[in-house]
Amino acid sequence: MRYLSHTPDDLREMMEVIGIERVEELFDSIPKNARRDSEIAIEPRSEWRLLREFEEMAQANRTGTAFIGAGSYSHHVPAHIPYLASRSEFITSYTPYQPEVSQGTLQAIFEFQTLTGSLLGMEIANASMYDGASALAEAALMAIRVKKKPKIALSRLNHPHYIQVLNTYFKPTDFETAELGALPDGRTDYGKIPEDVSAVIVQSPNFMGVVEDLAAAAEAAHAKGALLVVSFTEAMAWGLLKNPGSQGADIVCGEGKSFGIPQNFGGPGVGMLACKKDFVRTIPGRLVGQTVDKNGERSFVLTLAAREQHIRREKAVSNICTNSGHNALTAAMYMATAGKEGLREIAQINHDKAAYLKAGLERAGFKPLFDAPFFNEFALTAPAEFEKRRGELAEKGFAAGLKLDAFPEYKEYKDAYLFCATEVHTRDVLDAFLESLKFLKEVA
Amino acid sequence: MKTFEELDIRKDLSYAKTHEWAKMTGNLVRVGVDDYAQSALGDIVYVELPSVGTAANAGAAFGSLESTKAVSDLNSPVTGKIVAVNDALSDSPELVNASPYEDGWLVDIEVPDSKEFDALLKSDAYSEFVKTLDDEHS
Amino acid sequence: MSQYPGARGLAFKEALLWERGRKGRVGISLPERDVPRSELDAGLVGDKPELPELSEVDVVRHYTRLSTWNFGVDTGTYPLGSCTMKYNPKVNERTAGLPGFANLHPMMPEDCVQGALKLMYELERDLLEITGMHAASLQPSAGAQGELAGMLMIHAYHAHKGKQRHKILMPSTAHGTNPASAALCGYVPVPVQLSPDGVVTPEAIRQVMDEETAGIMITNPNTLGIFERHIAEIAEIIHEKGGLVYGDGANLNALMGYADVEKMGIDVMHVNVHKTLSTPHGGGGPGAGPVVARDVLEPFLPVPRVKKDGDRYSLSSDAPLSIGRLHSFFGSFAVLVRALAYTRTLGKRLKDVTEMAVLNANYVKAELKDAYNLPFPQPSMHECVFNDALQHKQGVTTLDIAKRLIDFGYHPPTVYFPLVVDGALMIEPTETESKADLDGFVEALKTIAEEAGTNPEAVTNTPQNTAVIRPDEVLAARKLILRGEMPR
């Protein structure tokens, strides 16, 4: 086996040092009633055969051209990013417990915290959460720790999967959620926030792609003595939109996968979690801090570890340990590569492409579900013929939107679809897709 | 961590087994943590204290001390109302290490009577108690 | 010590990203503008994000230099106890990067994702084959979320039975994350007395197990590296009182091919694929923490789960008792691809992996038992725990020993964990270390023990060749700087 290097001589010498004659003796402490009695029934593969099997599975997927976002967005990954991120010193290291041999990871995460804080307009950010959904659940728990009221108000226009994850985290607790409904224009209704909530949680752009009025959300939340928690699934939006911090958000959480991380069938992504400085002792997850070493050199360490699970045990602020460190590093690389000007330009082009697609679909007979500003995603009601012939579009390689009423949460949006376009959709592709819809006109 | 011989356990103070000291003046009880606690915790990096006016209950937590290796609850030795907290600790938590009995005091609690205070350990009994902990440790 | 790999350094200085940046630089290839510009309502548009401005070359140099300050498994021996830092096979990376996986949108119609679903299904089969359990879910993102899933399942089970319980048994040799995971479900951890030989006994369990207790969180082998040989009896006692057994799978590397998790009486366990199944840890994730369960807990597994019907795969959330969803989509898919590449490469030879992992730990233990104190001399599995009792008298602590090892070119072991051992040095060499690497590591530790007696400063005044030396952690926590100052 190529991953194991002991020769028969090595084995003999080692067993002699240990004082055994057969390796099996080392397992004598496993009693019969815990032993397995058969060998592992998995056949080992050679490297080439393994690759052939995996290529077959990969080819059984059809990636096509997806006009779908809904929490996972097609963005170009610059060539140097996977190249750099795959350096083995980054990939094959553990959590940076020993700062002297992990300054690379530590500085990179400090930079990620800084760039994330900048992007979101927040004072501090942590070293990352698993993904956007768990970041939202942890943000809700954090808000309850801060405000000590066991209830939160949750916009129903948050990503339905994120709401499901939050419900999973809440299930064994006494914590409650109050749903905030949608206004006819596709924004959250802040008019009916209950009195006794720790937080108002709203996603922007929301699941329907609509840009929320966060300043109004902040005002409404703060008027009730609650925190405003802003979630997001499309980090790219903050290249163009006013950031949540500048509009009064207290905690911001979301998914950073748009920054240089492949779609990977949805995971792993990178959860971003940022907040006001005052909440630093209640924020879950790892934090990297700047300090100086014995010689006065600037250096970085994991800090405030006493909040964490391995020290505070059952009183810890969270149980998170391993997070998404390597994807955080990748996201920081992307933010640094795009920079201030580049991110703005790419974000603007995302909006431009989406606007172009939306206009084209409207010409083809689709009707906007909402009359509200959007970033790169929007919901439209389709002409009757569309659903019948969506299969043909799939044959042509187009994933033509996401059917909203397929979600139990959104049954009322009958015949409506969520579409997305980003910088990777060239005009040729957009035009070809719109051209493929011309059957709608023929029917009409 | 200091050995028993190195510990400074003040004669003029009363103690709780959770390593808080208390000193009563009139109807005020000043509370801090003792040399054993500060030395066991190591470098204290943050002191969480209640706001003035909140209630303190004997045996219940009123705040916490955070070092790089642990967070430890602060238990109130008496029941009463917090009337003063040591604001200097928010910028200089190290005072608890450097001067646990003077500059590193934590809170003043106003109490209705001295019953609970009188029941606290005197320094001799407390020294004996700490010695047993020290023996267990080594 | 000039023969040691860490004896020479090639250390570049490197500024923070924004110190390297210059106004006006852009490092990204901007997409062609082939559609008209569409203006968003000015009231919604913010200032440009305050991000550093660098060229592509700046970014490449920056991260290349940062990487040289890191120690990885590809650099050398990384015997971090309880973390299973084994070699991460490169073919795994190649499989995860296949365009059919990497470019796959998670919300594509089921027809378009049959290969991905098949992969998930096959990995579930392999996990069940390796552990002997009945059903799996790949939702959890990491070990701690797998633990949480297990605890939520136990919580949901008791809720379904009509009577919730409020305590959970927690031996002191359980993994560090366990108490926090239990606390998220409102369970109060109840400590379990350890026997003098470092294991939990049926007697100790009988004393604390009652009908208010939801079950036990047990790590096997435990964090002392010792196999819990009474595990089946313990499980029986727990089950008799209506409780359930959560097994922490972080130490699965010691069990493959030898132990049967189901026979041990474990009802639910998570698997750290970034430990046992060789997926890289990435300096702090992403990992994956699938859970495997006995039939009694199957209805409670997180959803969506993969189903197979003939040749057709689908995802199903139709499980009314399920604890629900834990991930934005379907778990750490790209990590799971790597895990399957590993189980399919090794197959039945995973047993050899376990054998060599246990052999290596016992070899290191035998070699070092005279130089370092061994608080629990019982037979070790895949890791062994020493402490600094002998060196402490000479003014040398576990931390010093760890830092000195860096000078010799080895990553330090896990230190000060488990908490049941004062000044613990927890060594897990893993199976992929060669005898020569282990001999070098042992030699370095013996030298350090010797230095502690003759010249303690040689140990305490370390490390010497690293980019930074003993950063001030107290200062970092007292004067928090969690974010850099970006020039405007």
Domain of B21, in residue numbers: 14-112
Count CB atoms within 10 A of the CB of residue B90: 12
Contact across the interface for A306 and B48, Cβ inside 8 Å: no
| Model confidence pLDDT, tens digit, residues C197-245 | 999 999 999 999 999 999 999 999 999 999 999 999 999 999 999 999 9
Domain presence at residue B4: no
Q: Which residues of A touch B69 (CB under 8 A)?
A: 306, 311
Q: Is A226 helix (H, G, I), strand (E, B) or coil?
A: coil
Least CB-CB distance to A311: which of B45, B48, B69? B69
Of the candidates A443, A310, A424, A432, the one whose C-alpha atom is nearest the C-alpha of residue A68 is: A424
- Examine residue A99 and say whether the peptide bond preceding it is cis (omega within 30 degrees of 0): no
B44 to chain A: nearest residue by CA? A306
CATH numeric code, C352-474: 3.90.1150.10
**pTM, to two decimals:** 0.96
C200 touching chain A per CB within 8 A: no
What amino acid occupies position B123? Answer: S
Q: Are A328 and A406 within one domain?
A: no
Contact across the interface for C477 and B46, Cβ inside 8 Å: yes
Task: Write down the domain spans for chain C.
Answer: 94-348, 352-474
CA A148 to chain C, closest CA, distance in angstroms equals 16
In total, how many domains does chain B have?
1
* Mean pLDDT in residue range B61-86: 92
Q: In which residue are the tokens 């049959």 written?
A: C114
Domain presence at residue B118: no
Domain presence at residue A241: yes
The pLDDT tens digits along chain A (444 residues) read 899 999 999 999 999 999 999 999 999 999 999 999 999 999 999 999 999 999 999 999 998 899 999 999 999 999 999 999 999 999 999 999 999 999 999 999 999 999 999 999 999 999 999 999 999 999 999 999 999 999 999 999 999 999 999 999 999 999 999 999 999 999 999 999 999 999 999 999 999 999 999 999 999 999 999 999 999 999 999 999 999 999 999 999 999 999 999 999 999 999 999 999 999 999 999 999 999 999 999 999 999 887 777 777 777 778 888 899 999 999 999 999 999 999 999 999 999 999 999 999 999 999 999 999 999 999 999 999 999 988 889 888 899 999 999 999 999 999 999 999 999 999 999 999 999 998 887 655
In total, how many domains does chain A have?
2
Q: Which residues of C touch B3 (CB under 8 A)?
A: none
Choose one of A288, A303, A335: the last residue of a domain.
Answer: A335
Contact across the interface for B71 and A311, Cβ inside 8 Å: yes
CATH code assigned at A369: 3.90.1150.10
Of the candidates C18, C15, C25, the one whose C-alpha atom is nearest the C-alpha of residue C52 is: C18
CATH code assigned at A128: 3.40.640.10
Domain of A362, in residue numbers: 65-74+340-443
Contact across the interface for B48 and A281, Cβ inside 8 Å: yes
Of the candidates C153, C181, C147, C154, the one whose C-alpha atom is nearest the C-alpha of residue C269 is: C147
- The alpha carbons of chain A give a radius of gyration, in whole angstroms, of 25
DSSP H helical segments within C369-454, as ranges? 389-392, 398-407, 435-454
Q: Is A129 helix (H, G, I), strand (E, B) or coil?
A: strand
Domain presence at residue A248: yes
Contact across the interface for B94 and C478, Cβ inside 8 Å: yes
Contact C410, C6 (CB under 8 A): yes
Which pLDDT score, from 0 to 100, does residue B132 have? 87
Cross-strand bridge partners of residue B24: B29
Q: Which residues of A touch C52 (CB under 8 A)?
A: 115, 336, 339-340
| Model confidence pLDDT, tens digit, residues C73-92 | 999 999 999 999 999 999 99
Domain presence at residue B26: yes
Mutate: best of A311, A312, A313, A315, partner B, most B CBs <10 A = A311
Which pLDDT score, from 0 to 100, does residue C469 have? 94
Domain presence at residue A6: no
Domain presence at residue B127: no
Q: Are A301 and A153 within one domain?
A: yes
As a whole number of angstroms, the distance between CA A345 and CA C40 comes to 13
CA C186 to chain B, closest CA, distance in angstroms equals 20
CATH numeric code, C94-348: 3.40.640.10
Question: Checking DSSP bridges between strand A227-232 and strand B71-75, what pairing results, if any?
Answer: unpaired
B-contacting chains (≥3 CB pairs under 8 Å)? A, C
Q: What is the ipTM score, two decimals? A: 0.96
Choose one of A311, A335, A359: the last residue of a domain.
Answer: A335
